[in-house]
Amino acid sequence: MSHPVTELDRVVIRFAGDSGDGMQLTGDRFTQEAAVFGNDLSTLPNFPAEIRAPQGTIPGVSSFQLHFASYDILTPGDRPDVLVAMNPAALKANTGDLPKGATVIVDTHDFTARNLTKVGYAANPLEDETLADFAVHAVDLTGMTVEAVKEFGLSRKDAARSKNMFALGLVSWLYGRDVAGTETYLAHKFATKPTIRDANVAALRAGWNFGETTETFAVSYVVKPAPAAPGRYRNITGNTALSYGLVAAGRLSGLPVLMGAYPITPASDILHELSKHKRFGVTTFQAEDEIAAIGAAVGASFAGTLGVTATSGPGVALKSEAMGLAVMTELPLVVVDVQRGGPSTGLPTKTEQSDLLQAMYGRNGEAPMPVIAPQSPGDCFAAAVEAARIAITYRTPVMLLSDGYLANGSEPWAIPSVADLPAIEPGFATAPNHSTTNAKGEPVEEFWPYLRDEETLARPWAIPGTAGLEHRIGGLEKGEGHGNISYDPANHDRMVRIRAEKVQRIADSLPPLEVDDPSGQADVLVIGWGSTYGPIGAACRRVRAAGHPIAQVHLRHVNPLPNDLGAILRRYDRVVCPEMNLGQLSRLLRAEYLVDVRPITTVRGLPFGAEALAHDLLTHVTRTAEALA
């Protein structure tokens, strides 16, 4: 290599183009290259709600951001160091996020007067002062791509389609990344279309060579591998990890899995993924609506299968009544909510954490449901297994709260060894559990479907096909123990409290919380749940790097809250809770512990930026210090 090479410890790169430009694929492939190289990484895809938004418009821009580093990182990064913009719209939509000095690689091909006007550029930004703060590389990526693939005889339009691979090749060169994996990938993907395959590979190589042979880029960079424990890794998105977690839960419990679902963004991929795993005893049922989907899952659970349903906020709203039935019948059920921007249809492709209170309270009557949340894309696996453990052990519907960021974002995942995963015991009832005498005074053995395990308060799960345990359940109030309909006031009061207590008892099965407070000196505790783990962690690092101690604790279990949480919260002078909603966990904590939890909220459809969050946290830290001084 004739170019000088500069070492960096982290890079944030954003690929942006029209929805049809293949930016998600470009990002995915570059992510894969970085992953295989050994960087730690985190990604943030961002696409419009339209299938194909109008070409060349700002709403039509699709982007993919990747943060990769030589140390462990927690977020996809706030501001791109490098922007690859495939057209004027992509440039316009993204320059606002760039820090001074960022590198901008622009495909000049579409910078016609008409296209510029369409997005509101009065003049060509490549020719005026618009991009003065950035290092701009304006190159005709499209033109060069067409040139590179001309031997394959494609139409100009089809030829130009490979420009994303040209861009990928160029960026791969820039960071010294091997494109062999992508070549294999292309060979596989276009196995049946050899011309397309060859054109893409040619474009990819041409991009790489363009970097290598021209003087466009003065330096290239290297970002060394990040520290990592030994083991096998793969890059994984939250939706895939969650699906694998459900498949694993079936295996670990020995139960078949029946997933009822109705497609909805951003949860549909869970249905798509699970539909591939019939060999694991997983059946998927695409229902006519969300209610039928959960209905089938409840039916399947009654029949001795692990019933699962996955949806997003509007679908959860529709499932509310049926979740109540699962609460009353005390059947295992996993309800996955991949949260998106609300209310109503809201912002379907954006992320948000605003279904927490719906998950807690969105049912008629006192209908408690455990609520658990994964903290990163890879963690969706473990969270799904945990949801199934609780559902099966305690005979209860469980709400698993993922979100759009986790669903589509990815990170390297240390692949667990299946042998190390703990079994889940369905413990089906097989025999009568209650002795009584019949009218003639003879002893009789009966089955009482609401006679509970003393420790967990779980009721027995007797599945059809088990002789002698025939019984009827339903949504009317049950008599304690025998489970027949009961209108007795005292019984109802007792049953309402027992159902609440059962969910509360789950807390006894949880490990102690881990508070991250490296200095042990913090006065301020930051608490979060779900996908804010990364940004909060990154922000805390910044605060600490600026010389201020700060503690972090993160909740996987939001209901029941861990037994040790109250004591932890009271240990700090100030508790701060960042959330992608208007302060929903804050409300729960304030009500539960009477601690003045202070919300930091963002409802932008995007994860917290670490920098901005660090700034807010710092304010809390200094205010607290002032108050204590």
Ligand X SMILES: Cc1ncc(C[n+]2csc(CCOP(=O)(O)OP(=O)(O)O)c2C)c(N)n1
Residues that bind ligand SF4 (CB under 6 A): 51-52
Binding map of ligand X across residues 269-298, x = CB under 6 A, - = no contact: ---------------------x--------
Residue with the two structure tokens 């002893």: 443
Applying CB under 8 A, which of residues 470, 488, 493, 573 lies at the interface with another protein? 470
Which listed option, ligand X, ligand SF4, a copy of itself, none, makes contact with residue 516 (CB within 5 to 8 Å by class)?
A: none
Query: If we measure between CA atoms, which residue out of 263, 275, 269, 261 comes closest to residue 308?
Result: 261
Binding map of another protein across residues 356-395, x = CB under 8 A, - = no contact: ----------------------------------------
Report the residue number, 52 or 276, with the smaller CB distance to ligand SF4.
52
Q: Which residue is nearest to ligand X (CB)?
A: 264
Query: If we measure between CA atoms, which residue out of 508, 460, 513 comes closest to residue 482?
Result: 460
For residues 380, 500, 367 and 470, what is the CA-based torsion angle, rounded to 10 degrees? 90
Rounded to whole angstroms, what are the CA distances from 142 to 109, 145, 324, 455, 504?
Answer: 6, 5, 56, 67, 60
Give me the residues that bind a copy of itself (CB under 8 A), please: 48-49, 59, 312-314, 316-318, 320-321, 324-325, 327-329, 339, 341-348, 350, 352, 354-355, 357-358, 360-367, 474-477, 487, 489-490, 492-493, 496-497, 499-500, 581-582, 586-588, 590-592, 594-596, 602-606
What is the sign, positive or negative, of the torsion defined by CA atoms of 114, 120, 125, 126? negative
CB 13 within 8 A of CB 30: yes
Minimum distance from residue 619 beta carbon to another protein (Å): 35
Which listed option, a copy of itself, ligand X, ligand SF4, none, makes contact with residue 346 (CB within 5 to 8 Å by class)?
A: a copy of itself
Which listed option, ligand SF4, another protein, a copy of itself, none, makes contact with residue 264 (CB within 5 to 8 Å by class)?
A: another protein
Question: What residues between 281 and 300 interact with another protein by CB under 8 A?
Answer: 281, 283-300
Rounded to whole angstroms, what are the CA distances from 588 to 26, 72, 341, 560?
Answer: 41, 32, 21, 11
Applying CB under 6 A, which of residues 175, 217, 221, 262 lies at the interface with ligand X? 262
Residue 226 binds another protein (CB under 8 A): yes
Q: Which residues are within 8 A (CB) of 216 and not within 5 positions of it... i.e. 6 or more apart?
A: 137, 139, 210
Residue 10 binds another protein (CB under 8 A): no
Minimum distance from residue 183 beta carbon to another protein (Å): 13
Residue 264 binds ligand X (CB under 6 A): yes
> C-alpha angle with apex 346: 345 to 350, nearest 5 degrees?
115
Which listed option, ligand SF4, another protein, ligand X, none, makes contact with residue 248 (CB within 5 to 8 Å by class)?
A: another protein
Minimum distance from residue 595 beta carbon to another protein (Å): 38
Rounded to whole angstroms, what are the CA distances from 139 to 84, 106, 145, 365, 553?
Answer: 11, 6, 11, 63, 47
Applying CB under 8 A, which of residues 88, 260, 562, 607 lies at the interface with another protein? 260
Applying CB under 8 A, which of residues 143, 176, 256, 426 lies at the interface with another protein? 256
Element housing 338 (H / E): strand 333-339
Applying CB under 8 A, which of residues 17, 27, 45, 314 lies at the interface with another protein? 314
Residue 314 binds ligand X (CB under 6 A): yes
Q: Which residue is nearest to ligand SF4 (CB)?
A: 51
HSE at residue 258, side-chain half, CA atoms within 13 A, is 19
Applying CB under 6 A, which of residues 20, 176, 263, 549 lies at the interface with ligand X? 263
For residues 72, 73, 74 and 79, what is the CA-based torsion angle, rounded to 10 degrees? 180
Minimum distance from residue 557 beta carbon to another protein (Å): 24
Distance CA(458)–CA(331), nearest Å, equals: 10
CB 404 within 8 A of CB 266: yes
Burial of 271 (0-12, 13-18, 19+ CB in 10 A): buried
CB 125 within 8 A of CB 136: no
Distance CA(164)–CA(175), nearest Å, equals: 17
Report the residue number, 100 or 472, with the smaller CB distance to another protein.
472
Report the residue number, 21 or 616, with the smaller CB distance to ligand SF4.
21
Collapsed DSSP state (helix, strand, coil) of residue 571: coil
Binding map of another protein across residues 473-512, x = CB under 8 A, - = no contact: xxxx-------xx---------------------------
Minimum distance from residue 473 beta carbon to another protein (Å): 6
Side chain identity, residue 114 = R
